[in-house]
Amino acid sequence: MTVTIVGSQLGDEGKGGIVDLYGDDVDVVARYQGGDNAGHTVVHEGEEYKLSLVPSGAIRGKVGVLGNGCVVNPRTLFDEIDTLQERGLDPDVRIAERAHVILPFHRVLDGIEEELKSETDDEVGTTGRGIGPTYEDKAGRRGVRVGDLLDPDVLRERLEYVVPQKRAVVEDVYDLDVDELDDPDAFDVDAIFEEFREFGRRFEAEDMTVNAGAFLSATIDEGQNVMLEGAQGTIIDIDHGNYPYVTSSNPTAGGAATGTGLSPGVVGDGEVIGIVKAYLTRVGSGPLPTELGGVVGDTPGYDEQGEGENEELANYIREEGGEYGTVTGRPRRVGWLDLPMLRHSTRVSGFTGIAINHLDVLAGLDEVKVGHTYTLDGEELASMPATTEQWKRCEANLKSFDGWPEIDWADAADEGYDALPENAKAYVEYIESELDTPAYAIGVGPGRGETIVREHPF
């Protein structure tokens, strides 16, 4: 069977930790979208691993697959694999031949477009990894796929088509001189060909490429368990998120089918677990109706967002939760949990269960609030409106919960759900009841042992 792990909010909900938690019963872990914009943290035997591309299950020695829905930067991938090997692990990673390759010019173009948009405060606040430009070329039918790296003739032919177009975009659209960019080789067919052909040889030598759909289907037919690891989160999904402040792929459950080659029936026969952080964080721009304010440094788009209000509280939660971007180190914006957002995510992906993380981070506060509904133009809304302009105008109707004390969380995780403070249980049960979805797991710390497990999905 399959279990699909989906971020229910804006990324960084603790997906990596939950993939790891349930990883024992799994044979294969497959990522279905995104690229090295992801940063998933796994704490294994006291060691912290921050993974951008290697699926989180690889830490436990499971086979990791990067599905066709992913965009793969081989530079990052091999760096990550080499680093893990230096730390004594031997990750077994297979890459879909249909996955698209992030080429050097994609990263440069990501930067140029963000820079241009920042002149009018319209930047998305991307991770700068070239994610959007690579998916653009995929949709534009001018991309290079992992399978193309294995065939020098095809690789050269595709580069000779696409690279001059990108040079022209830089020079004619952005009015910049390619030779004066930091990395002019990013737009040089020969330089790219040499480097990426070498990556192709390594893929071949280490037998790393697969037809992901066929490979994963065969795995399921043999009765093995497959975990589908989403990156990012529902509200930065390109279709169901707050466009244009989104990533360029589908983190929601539908993406698990298109991004792996498993049928929607196979994904739907399994469980879909929504990962919920007990409050909200966001890196990058865009509205956030329950935002608390108080970002350290200069997060794009922040100035518009209720600066100053509850700043101390936001700073407190940010420090307690270590809320700094895994990939970019940016301070994360902080807000209260947002139920209209979660009702939307639950509907889009059909969560069969949820995992609520970071309950420990809120411990010690006198009062914990949630956005229960929104008011938009005098009307009460239970779920998110479809346009970002409307969402920006939504006022959150807050509901207040009594806080819960700091306790020994590892002990509580050992003892089980009943060991949680009463007020923390009331918070969990409110979320379960509003979403009509049971909490399979409750995270009370970053380690594998700091999770209360109520249900094993496999």
Specify the stretch interacting with Mg ion by CB under 5 A; choose among 176-184, 255-263, 325-333, 393-401: 325-333
Which residues 283-322 are close enough to bind ligand IMO by CB under 6 A?
Answer: 283-284
Identify whether 12 is a catalytic site residue.
yes
Q: Work out which of 20, 123, 291, 360 binds ligand GDP, going by CB under 6 A.
A: 360
Please state the closest distance from residue 435 (CB atom) to ligand GDP, in A: 18
Of 6, 10, 28, 43, the one binding ligand GDP (CB under 6 A) is 43
Is residue 39 part of the contact set for ligand IMO (CB under 6 A)?
yes
Q: Does 330 engage in binding with ligand GDP (CB under 6 A)? A: no
| 166 tagged catalytic | no
Binds ligand GDP by CB under 6 A, chosen from 2, 4, 9, 14:
14
Q: Convert residues 265-284 into a mask of x (bound to ligand IMO by CB under 6 A) and - (unbound).
A: ------------------xx
Given the complex with ligand GDP, which of 181 and 365 has the nearer CB atom? 365
Q: Judged by CB, which is closer to Mg ion: 16, or 261?
A: 16
**Nearest partner of 10 among 348, 403, 284, judged by Cα:** 284
**Using rule CB under 5 A, residue 137 touches Mg ion:** no
The answer on whether 360 is annotated among ligand-binding residues is: yes
Q: How far is the CB of 321 from ligand GDP (least distance, A)?
A: 6
Task: Look at residue 132 and give the partner it binds from Mg ion, ligand GDP, ligand IMO, none, a contact being a CB closer than 5 to 8 Å depending on partner kind.
Answer: ligand IMO
By beta-carbon distance, which residue lies closest to ligand IMO?
Answer: 284
Per annotation, catalytic residue among 62, 100, 106, 138: 138
**Is 399 among the catalytic positions?**
no
Q: Annotated catalytic sites, by residue?
A: 12, 40, 138
Q: What residues make contact with ligand IMO under the rule CB under 6 A?
A: 7, 11-12, 37-40, 124-127, 129, 131-132, 231-233, 236, 245, 247-248, 283-284, 326
Q: Annotated binding site, which residues?
A: 11-17, 37-41, 127, 141, 232, 247, 326-332, 358-360, 443-445
Q: Annotated binding site for IMP, which residues?
A: 12-15, 37-40, 127, 141, 232, 247, 330
